[in-house]
Amino acid sequence: MSNPGGGAPQKTPSITLNSGAKIPQLGLGVWQATNDETERAVGFALGEAGYRHIDTAAAYGNEEGVGRGLAASGVPREDVFLTTKLWNADQGYESAFSAFDASLDKLAVDYVDLYLIHWPLQDRDRLLRTWEALEEIAASGRARSIGVCNFEPHHLRLLADRGGTMPAVDQVELHPHLAQHEIRSTAAELGVAVESWSPLGGTSNAGWGEHSKPNTLLTDPCIGAIASRHGKSPAQVLIRWHLQNGLIVIPKSAHPERIAQNIDVFDFDLTDIDLAEIGTLNDGVRVGLHPDEMNLAAPD
Ligand SMILES: NC(=O)c1ccc[n+]([C@@H]2O[C@H](COP(=O)([O-])OP(=O)(O)OC[C@H]3O[C@@H](n4cnc5c(N)ncnc54)[C@H](OP(=O)(O)O)[C@@H]3O)[C@@H](O)[C@H]2O)c1
C-alpha cells in the first residue's frame, strides 16, 4: 500500500476474509467521538500515523467526520479499509438498503469495504431479511464484504444453516477479561474472522449508560508489569495480545499521541509467558451488554 500522507510506513499485517478481501489487522475505532473529533482523528491516523483501516457506524453519528477525515488525509480511497454498520432501527429488507445509501452519502464514498449488522435482533425473520439485503448490497459491489457484530455462536449457526453468504467478520466485545473462546472456535469452524471491540477494556465513560463500567485493564497490575518488562505501555501490550491471538483489533482514541502509540506495536512480541499471564485475566466480565439479553433499538 502507498503512504502518500507521508506518515509512518505501513507495517500492519492483513487477514484475508472469506470474501477474498484483505483487512488490515489493526484499525482505528471512532465510537463516542463527535464529527469534528472524528475528522481530526481519522485525518491524523491515515495521513500521519500510518493507519489504513477505520471502523465507524451509522449509530455513532460521525460518518460525516470519517468522510471529511479521509478526504483531508490525502490517502487514496482504495488504500483505506472502511467499515460502517447498520443500526437496529433500520433492520429489515427495504430499510437496510435506505440505511446503506444514507451511510454512503454521509461517508462521501461510493463503496465501503465492510458493512456490518450492528446488533442481532431477537426477531429472527427480520434479522434474516436484513441479511438478505446485505447479500444483495455485496453482490452490487457497493460493500466489498459483509458481516455482523455481537453474534453469539447460535446466531452464526442460524446463518450457516440457512445457506448463502457467511459473514466475513463477527465483531464482538473481546479483551483479556472476555476472551470469547466459544465464539472464536465457532467462527473459526465457519470461516468467519473475529474482530475485537473495546479491545483496551472500553471507554470508562457513559457509553453504556447505566450499564457503564470503569476500564480496569489499562490499570491492571499484570498488564502493567508486562508493559514495564517490554518498555511499552499497557495499551500497546493489550493490542499485541489481540494481534498475536489472530484477532482484528480497532482501539479507539481521539488523541494523536495515543493514536500513534496504538499502532507502534510492531517492534516487540509478547512471550508465551506473557500470553499465559494475560490468559489468567479471563473472568468473563463484560464492558457492554450481552447480545442475548438486550434487543437494542428493535424496530416495531
Ligand atoms: N460493534 C459494536 O457493538 C461495538 C461496540 C463498542 C465498540 N465498537 C468499536 O470498537 C472500537 C473500540 O472500542 P471502544 O471505543 O469501546 O474502547 P477501547 O478501544 O477499548 O478503549 C477506548 C478508550 O481507551 C482510551 N485509550 C485509547 N488509547 C489509549 C492509550 N494508548 N492509553 C490510554 N488510554 C487510551 C480512549 O481514550 P481517548 O479517546 O480519550 O484517547 C478511550 O477512552 C469503538 O470505537 C468502535 O469502533 C463496536
Q: What is the mean pLDDT of the chain?
A: 94
Q: For cell 469495504, what's the residue?
A: 113
Instruction: Identify whether 115 is a catalytic site residue.
Output: no
Q: Which of 112, 203, 213 maximizes ligand 1 atoms within 8 Å of its Cβ, making it the mutation to test the pocket?
A: 203
Report the residue among 60, 183, 196, 200 best suited for mutation to probe ligand 1: largest number of ligand atoms under 8 A from its CB.
200
Q: Which long-range contacts (CB under 8 A, 24 or more apart) does 214-217 make?
A: 215/287, 216/177, 217/175, 217/176, 217/177, 217/281
Residue 4 has pLDDT above 50, yes or no: no
Instruction: Please give the torsion angle defined by the CA atoms of residues 186, 189, 195 and 200, in that order, rounded to the nearest 10 degrees.
Output: 60
Confidence check: pLDDT of 107 > 50: yes
Residue 203 Cβ < 6 Å to ligand 1: yes
243: pLDDT confidence band, cut at 50, 70 and 90? Answer: very high
Gap from CA of 206 to ligand 1 centroid (Å): 13
Give the predicted TM-score (pTM) of the model: 0.96
At residue 208, does pLDDT exceed 80? no
The per-residue pLDDT for 215 is 86
Average pLDDT over residues 56-78: 98
What's the pLDDT band for 7 if we cut at 50, 70, 90? very low
pLDDT grade for 8, boundaries at 50, 70 and 90: very low
**How many CA atoms within 13 Å lie on the side-chain side of 121?**
21
Q: Ligand 1: does its nearest atom lie under 6 Å from the Cβ of 234?
A: no
1 has a pLDDT exceeding 80? no
**Of residues 206 and 126, which shows the higher confidence score?**
126
Q: Which residues contact 3 (CB under 8 A, 6 or more apart)?
A: 9, 10, 50, 75
Q: Is residue 284 over pLDDT 90?
A: yes
* Any ligand 1 atom below 6 A from CB of 201: yes
Kindly indicate the confidence band of residue 161, based on its pLDDT and cuts at 50, 70 and 90: very high
- Give the distance (Å) from ligand 1 centre to CA of residue 126: 30
> Does residue 197 have its Cβ closer than 6 Å to ligand 1?
yes
Residue 5 has pLDDT above 70, yes or no: no
